[in-house]
Structure 1
Amino acid sequence: MQVTHVGSEVFPFSRSGGLGDVLGALPAVEASLGAEVCVVSPWYAGLSAKPKEIWRGHLREVGWDNPEVWVGEIVEGGVRYLFIGLSEFERAGLYHPDDVWRFSLFGKAVIPVLRLLGIRPDVLHGHDWQAGLVVAHAHLSGWRTVFTIHNLQYQGRWNLTEARHWTGLPEWAFGPDTLEFHGDLSLMKGGLVFADRVTTVSPTYAREITTPQYGEGLEGLMVRLTLEGRLSGIINGLDQERWNPRHDPEIQPYSDPEGKAGAIAALRQEFGLDSAPILATVSRLADQKGMDILIEALPELVEKWNVVVLGGGDPLLTAALIGWAQHPRVAFSQGMNEPLSHRIYAGADAFAMPSRFEPCGLSQMISMRYGTLPVVRETGGLVDTVPSDVGFRFAGTTPADLVAACDVAYDTLGQPEQWQERMQKAMQLDFSWQGPAQQYLKLYEGLGRRG
């Protein structure tokens, strides 16, 4: 089985969030299970490793001024990583306001580059809207395709009149049943419409996006895909070697709940916290993640908890947390800091995720791996991964709902035997990629192999 994944980021070479983690883990496990796997992503200026350049030239399919395209390669862990270079991707950072234009160029380059290199996979697997155009072109080329929604909220939309000329697609591809969405071009919709099978990153989220509350205006299409048997949910896995308290170089390693006490003491000392238990979160600062709910709940939370937050994003939420960091029981570290995130996952007692929606989520899996019990809203992947006898789940979206769940966690923490039992169960849960990878390979096989 020859599989080519296409996505906008891939750990450890480029990463801004969970998508990069998925493309850093799933392909390697598929390769270990016998598949021949390639991953295609942009050649950003800030890649963490320099690929070996294997081709440079011009592709008429990319159009416009016939821009120069270059291709780099890294082979690692049984996976061939290909990086497509275009001048639009030489800026600092991964994402920019004109990304629909940038990923339209990238989307037109992928299939020609694969052909140049003699790669004709049994299945092309595109991830999120940045790969939607690639899936459309692959379908029109007669390739079998899978498209995975990592977050339906982000759809790659642009004014249709202007953007239709960027795509290289025929005119019939811009109707309301194809890429047009309320007068815009939607690259997400391109992936959804043209893929042979559509997956999302948890079974519960696959059901939620068929409803107006979570469907982002595409719920009608999601219902149709479900009725056609083309939409399903496969829960993400976790890189259990990268996130392993038994040999994590960023902490004093431990293998059981008793050994966690040292990590808690270290985090308490690092942030100068008092003896109250530690409630933490590592998150993008966004309304989707419920960070406004957490901030509004702080006056009551700090009566019982120290609160530690690591993350960046919305300027207003960031400013609010900077202000709250003056409180002796609140610690806030702005931005992404992977070593610190390991220390937080290990050193907190409980982990808050009051997400309004959560397609899958990795933080709750990581926290349980480290014996840190999650307090989560009942939505998406949080429902599918947090057992009710391990974490603390709540249904509402108000600060009072979060506070009530944290109060239950606090009371349980005061019953050491119950808390230890939950921690033990949490640390024994299996979140490896083996199961999800096997499900994906079965899905690919169901599409058949190329002739």
Structure 2
Amino acid sequence: MHVAHIASEVFPFSRSGGLGDVVGALPAVQAAQGSEVTVVSPWYASLGGETPGHLWAGDLPELGGALGLGDAPHVWVGEVRRGGVRYLFIGLSPFSRPGLYHDDDVWRYCAFGQAVLPVLRRLGTVPDVVHGHDWQAGLVVAHAQLAGLATVFSVHNLQYQGKWNFAEGSRWTGLPDWALGPDGLEKDGDVNLMKAGLTFADRVTTVSPTYAQEITTPQYGEGLEDLLGGLARQGRLSGILNGLDQERWDPRTDPDITPYGDLAGKAAATAALRAEFGLDSAPVLATVSRLAGQKGMDLLIEALPALTPDWNVVVLGGGDPLLEAALTGWAQHPRVAFAQGMNEALAHRIYAGADAFAMPSRFEPCGLSQMIAMRYGTLPVVRETGGLVDTVPHDVGFRFAEAEPQALAAACTETLAAYRQPGDWAGRVERAMRLDFSWDGPARHYLALYRSLR
């Protein structure tokens, strides 16, 4: 079985969030299980990790002139092989700017989407299955399906869809006219690359079973619920829970903390976090998150008056300037600490040192933070949505139903009551640290899915 994963980011070469983590971990496990695995991603100007070796360069007339790149744009390809996985990075002029994402991303990923298959052909690579991830790979899936290849399309976050006005965007896709209408990638007068992936893929997956159900409803379907409901009825939509890279996130070997594997080591990590932020002896409630409405960070901020009498609160993240400003103001409070931006080493210390971890998400396709937190013995306080339902057992963490600050505060009160019962709390922590979130099971589910397409 040869599978080609197509994604806009892959850890450790490029990453902005959970998508990069998934595409960084799943292919390596699939390779270890015996599949031949290729990952294809753009060659960004700011590409990290190992420097790819130049594999091929040349003109690609298949891209045509509609993209404004000339009649035969120059393309270069780099390669890295590690962990049994072959990583291919496609270089195109639209990706020569620093950073991953920009305002003209629909145009950029239309160029990438048309380049992938011709590049693979030039390299003599013909996968059994093309597995695209999120809207940036939707056009690749459409072209692969039209070329007769088996295709899987994974939705990591339906909110982001890759939309552009139809008159301009349709010329960028390289698809035949019949594929551009309402039965193809057009949605509400726009080109929609997420819809392209959903429409043309043999099978569509999401990153948790609960999210697969949620997105067929108007509340979570982002305008695509009718299409997704049809896929579900046809048996073409399913949810496969994400795994966690348990080597990267292992408190027993983590180089960013004093490693531990028991309650005593956990207590030492909490003491170290309190000392780092100058916090008192109250329990520590933390979060590491994008500051965005989806993540419910406004709910956490609104709940702070109810939380701070009993909790220290530590927040690491960046995003919405209004939420950043609010947290900066709250950081004057002796029980609130805010570290703006993202800091990998600090994130590890927070996961290890916090007592509880808040995830008041309005929706959460899967979520990795709650898995990481439990692996480090930090008990999650989560809203009942998406992958949070599928991963947080009642005898470990704490859940609340409504996306309201009062509901979050009430769940934290329940959490505090358990914290004040040392036997109950220790049992929850020990169960959390024993949970298995490895990629082995999900990788086998994907393999079974691929084989069903052959």
Where does residue 392 of structure 1 map in the other structure?
398
Aligned-partner Cα distance in 2 for 1:324–1:104: 43
2:364 maps to amino acid: E
Residue of 145, 163, 175 corresponding to 1:169: 175
Once the two structures are TM-superposed, the CA of residue 322 in structure 1 deviates from its matched residue by 1.0
Where does residue 293 of structure 2 map in the other structure?
287
Task: Summarize the alignment of residues 137-216 of structure 1 with structure 2, pairs less than 5 Å apart.
Answer: 137-216=143-222
Where does residue 17 of structure 2 map in the other structure?
17
Aligned-partner Cα distance in 2 for 1:320–1:113: 47
Aligned-partner Cα distance in 2 for 1:197–1:59: 30
Task: Summarize the alignment of residues 59-74 of structure 1 with structure 2, pairs less than 5 Å apart.
Answer: 59-64=60-65, 65=70, 66-74=72-80
Aligned-partner Cα distance in 1 for 2:83–2:165: 41
C-alpha offsets along residues 268-307 of structure 1, whole Å, 9 cap, x if unaligned? Answer: 0111111111000000110000001001111111111110
Aligned-partner Cα distance in 1 for 2:111–2:52: 20
2:172 maps to amino acid: W
Residue of 331, 348, 358 corresponding to 1:325: 331
1:35 maps to amino acid: S
Query: Structure 1: where are the runs of 5+ without partners?
Result: none
C-alpha offsets along residues 374-425 of structure 1, whole Å, 9 cap, x if unaligned? Answer: 0000000000000011000000111000000000001110000000000010
2:309 maps to amino acid: E
Aligned-partner Cα distance in 2 for 1:89–1:131: 15
1:314 maps to amino acid: D
TM-score by length of 2: 0.98
1:435 maps to amino acid: G
Does 2:353 match 1:339? Answer: no
Aligned-partner Cα distance in 2 for 1:379–1:297: 19
> In structure 2, the residue corresponding to 1:439 is in which secondary structure?
helix
Where does residue 112 of structure 1 map in the other structure?
118
Residue of 407, 414, 417 corresponding to 2:413: 407
> In structure 1, the residue corresponding to 2:258 is in which secondary structure?
coil
1:16 maps to amino acid: S
1:164 maps to amino acid: S
2:146 maps to amino acid: L
Aligned-partner Cα distance in 2 for 1:297–1:421: 27
Once the two structures are TM-superposed, the CA of residue 266 in structure 1 deviates from its matched residue by 0.5
> In structure 2, the residue corresponding to 1:104 is in which secondary structure?
helix
Aligned-partner Cα distance in 2 for 1:119–1:388: 47
Does 2:28 match 1:31? Answer: no
TM-score by length of 1: 0.99
Once the two structures are TM-superposed, the CA of residue 258 in structure 1 deviates from its matched residue by 2.5
1:20 maps to amino acid: G
Task: Summarize the alignment of residues 92-107 of structure 1 with structure 2, pairs less than 5 Å apart.
Answer: 92-107=98-113
Does 2:81 match 1:80? Answer: no
Once the two structures are TM-superposed, the CA of residue 211 in structure 1 deviates from its matched residue by 0.3
> In structure 2, the residue corresponding to 1:431 is in which secondary structure?
coil
C-alpha offsets along residues 186-236 of structure 1, whole Å, 9 cap, x if unaligned? Answer: 000000000000000000000000000000000000110001110000000
> In structure 2, the residue corresponding to 1:37 is in which secondary structure?
strand
Does 2:256 match 1:250? Answer: yes
Aligned-partner Cα distance in 2 for 1:258–1:357: 35
C-alpha offsets along residues 39-98 of structure 1, whole Å, 9 cap, x if unaligned? Answer: 000001111131001111111111221221100000000000000001111111100010
Where does residue 376 of structure 2 map in the other structure?
370
> In structure 2, the residue corresponding to 1:287 is in which secondary structure?
coil
Aligned-partner Cα distance in 2 for 1:102–1:257: 49
> In structure 1, the residue corresponding to 2:358 is in which secondary structure?
strand
2:2 maps to amino acid: Q
> In structure 1, the residue corresponding to 2:294 is in which secondary structure?
helix
Aligned-partner Cα distance in 2 for 1:130–1:124: 14
> In structure 2, the residue corresponding to 1:289 is in which secondary structure?
coil
Q: CA RMSD in A?
A: 0.6
> In structure 1, the residue corresponding to 2:316 is in which secondary structure?
strand
1:424 maps to amino acid: E
> In structure 2, the residue corresponding to 1:107 is in which secondary structure?
helix
Does 2:18 match 1:7? Answer: no
Once the two structures are TM-superposed, the CA of residue 135 in structure 1 deviates from its matched residue by 0.2
Aligned-partner Cα distance in 2 for 1:183–1:99: 18
Aligned-partner Cα distance in 2 for 1:29–1:14: 19
Aligned-partner Cα distance in 1 for 2:173–2:348: 41
- Runs in 1 of length 4+ with deviation above 2 angstroms? none
Once the two structures are TM-superposed, the CA of residue 434 in structure 1 deviates from its matched residue by 0.1
> In structure 2, the residue corresponding to 1:273 is in which secondary structure?
coil
Residue of 281, 284, 299 corresponding to 1:278: 284
Once the two structures are TM-superposed, the CA of residue 257 in structure 1 deviates from its matched residue by 2.1
Q: Percent identity?
A: 72
Once the two structures are TM-superposed, the CA of residue 319 in structure 1 deviates from its matched residue by 1.0
Query: Structure 2: where are the runs of 5+ without partners?
Result: none
